């Protein structure tokens, strides 16, 4: 290993570790604004897409926090739901509140999450900012987790610090757009897109 890659690996490990600790602390401190009315539309739009797109889908959600998306979607709308988040405090809380035989939440960093299971839908609501590098992780990790007609549902806030235009641009290189919705509340605007991997 070169000195440069040693340094870069050290920085990456440090950043990931501090990121996890920072998010976990937020949830320990009762970070619950995600359940406020101003956040409701984006959850509702994604819930509608889940219900419209698939019957009893197997769903993977990354960056699920305390399970609000699964709850807003409703247990009758999916066959199985696996929510993952870097914060174990968040996934513990999600399991306690909404877990059952078909709804489970597990701590995992989306950058190194692995499973043999395949999904009809992968949801990343307000959390794709932490997947890096997006294109490689999508191509090598998450697109292979999709079933043949599987789709991704991704939301991003339109605030300046989300770099959303760059991220949507990268995603458009590897996904076809099935549908897109914009919602705006007093707390900001969100684009929500349904994406399907481009045929190779």
Ligand X SMILES: C[S@@+](CC[C@H](N)C(=O)[O-])C[C@H]1O[C@@H](n2cnc3c(N)ncnc32)[C@H](O)[C@@H]1O
Interface positions with ligand X (CB under 6 A):
19, 23, 34, 62-65, 68, 85-87, 90, 109-111, 125-127, 130
Closer to ligand X at the Cβ: 68 or 146?
68
Q: Closest separation between CB of residue 181 and ligand X, Å?
A: 15
Q: Closest separation between CB of residue 159 and ligand X, Å?
A: 11
* Positive/negative CA dihedral, 9, 11, 12, 17: positive
- What is the spatial order of strands in the sheet that 146-157 belongs to? 103-107, 80-85, 58-62, 119-125, 146-157, 188-197, 175-185
Closer to ligand X at the Cβ: 47 or 146?
47
Q: Closest separation between CB of residue 49 and ligand X, Å?
A: 14
Give the Cα separation of 91 and 103 in Å (integer): 11
Give the Cα separation of 127 and 135 in Å (integer): 15
Q: Closest separation between CB of residue 123 and ligand X, Å?
A: 8
Closer to ligand X at the Cβ: 143 or 192?
192
């Amino acid at each position: 290993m070169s000195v440069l890659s040693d340094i870069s690996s050290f920085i990456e490990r440090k950043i990931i570790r501090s990121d996890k600790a920072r998010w976990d602390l937020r949830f320990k401190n009762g970070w619950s604004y995600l359940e406020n009315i101003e956040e409701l539309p984006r959850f509702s739009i994604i819930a509608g897409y889940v219900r419209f797109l698939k019957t009893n889908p197997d769903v993977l959600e990354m960056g699920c926090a305390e399970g609000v998306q699964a709850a807003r979607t409703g247990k009758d709308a999916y066959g199985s739901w696996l929510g993952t988040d870097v914060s174990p405090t968040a996934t513990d809380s999600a399991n306690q509140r909404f877990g059952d035989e078909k709804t489970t939440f597990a701590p995992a960093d989306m950058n190194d999450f692995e499973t043999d299971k395949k999904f009809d839908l992968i949801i990343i609501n307000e959390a794709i900012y932490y997947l890096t590098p997006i294109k490689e992780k999508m191509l090598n990790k998450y697109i292979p987790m999709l079933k043949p007609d599987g789709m991704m549902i991704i939301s991003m806030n339109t605030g300046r610090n989300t770099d959303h235009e760059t991220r949507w641009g990268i995603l458009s290189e590897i996904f076809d757009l099935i549908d897109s919705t914009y919602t705006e509340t007093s707390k900001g605007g969100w684009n929500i897109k349904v994406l399907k991997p481009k045929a190779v």
